[in-house]
Structure 1
Amino acid sequence: MAKHRSGRINEEVRKEVSSIIQYDIKDPRMNAMVSITKVNVTKDLRYAKIYVSIFGDDTEKKNTLEVLKNSSGFIRREIGHRINLRYTPEIIFELDNSIEHGMHIDAILAQIKEREHDDNE
């Protein structure tokens, strides 16, 4: 029962933070595409670790992550207004490279497939 509730809370926080990042943060340094891959809210609702995937080069990633970390207070306040929870969790942003890692593996597999195809001809 509690696991189901925490899953709903994680999903709701993910949806709201995604909306806030997309529509409400107006920082000009944030020009990279940001997607939220996962949210973990602790059981006591005190902390929310938000994993973000940022599409762009290294400087864009660094700048965007900096903007997100600096905006965490604003995002926390907005979540407090939008979601009715006992405590509004403190926001912690973490960079998630899993999408890029998957794309890298996909490219390697495509190269292997191409080599096998060339060898068979």
Structure 2
Amino acid sequence: MADTARARKLAERIQQVVAQMLDTRVKDPRLGFVTVTDVKVTGDLQHADVYYTVYGDDEARTGSAAALESAKGLIRSEVGKQTGIRLTPTLAFHLDAVPETAAHLEQALAEAARRDAEVAALAAQASYAGEADPYRHPDDEQDDDAGR
């Protein structure tokens, strides 16, 4: 049975160690402004997926990905030293797609707001096809009976 609390704590610690390593020890010129966003550790604590974002264009992303791959061994050894667990998990770096997804959602929400404004403008100019209130009310029934 996997201990999810232990995996969560290890993931948090790996995130801290990787961020510290990227800030202080990894001196690769290809490495851009990298932010470690999340770390997922498998239940058996043997593998860790490190998610990161890079501030910049596609060239900065590809350079940072290459720099992270070349520094993977150094970072893994430091993770092993600072966590103190018997088997150091393997590391895999993945570019986090959250910023692109958020930008796409922002565009979709702006489009929906624009369409809502158009519908509201059309509704403000609209008039009823018949009466404003087409339903019968109890008051009307008394008037109908008196008119017969």
Which residue of structure 2 lines up, in the alignment, with residue 17 of structure 1? 18
Structure 2 length as normaliser, TM-score?
Answer: 0.71
Query: Could you tell me how far 1:120 is from its partner in structure 2?
Result: 4.3
Residue 87 of structure 1: SS of its match in structure 2?
Answer: coil
Structure 2 runs not aligned, ≥5 long: 122-148
1:49-105 CA-to-partner distances (Å, cap 9, x unmatched) read: 111122221111011011001110010111122111111111111122122211221
Matched, 1:6 2:7: yes
- Structure-2 separation of matches of 1:4 and 1:80: 19
**Structure 1 runs (4+) greater than 4 angstroms displaced:** 118-121
Which residue of structure 2 lines up, in the alignment, with residue 63 of structure 1? 63
Please report the RMSD computed on the Cα atoms of aligned residues, expressed in angstroms. 1.9
Query: Could you tell me how far 1:109 is from its partner in structure 2?
Result: 1.1
Q: Which amino acid aligns with 1:28?
A: P
- Structure-1 separation of matches of 2:114 and 2:48: 43
- Structure-1 separation of matches of 2:72 and 2:54: 16
Which residue of structure 2 lines up, in the alignment, with residue 35 of structure 1? 35
Structure 1 length as normaliser, TM-score?
Answer: 0.84
Q: Which amino acid aligns with 1:19?
A: Q
Moved more, 37-46 or 63-72: 37-46
Q: Which has the higher contact order (CA 8 A, sep 6+)?
A: 1
Aligned-residue identity in percent: 30
1:11-34 CA-to-partner distances (Å, cap 9, x unmatched) read: 111111111112221111112x22
Number of equivalences: 120
Q: Which amino acid aligns with 1:13?
A: I
Residue 105 of structure 1: SS of its match in structure 2?
Answer: helix
Which residue of structure 1 lines up, in the alignment, with residue 45 of structure 2? 45
Query: Could you tell me how far 1:114 is from its partner in structure 2?
Result: 3.8
Question: Which entry has the higher C-alpha Rg, 1 or 2?
Answer: 2
Q: Which amino acid aligns with 1:88?
A: T
Q: Which amino acid aligns with 2:26?
A: I
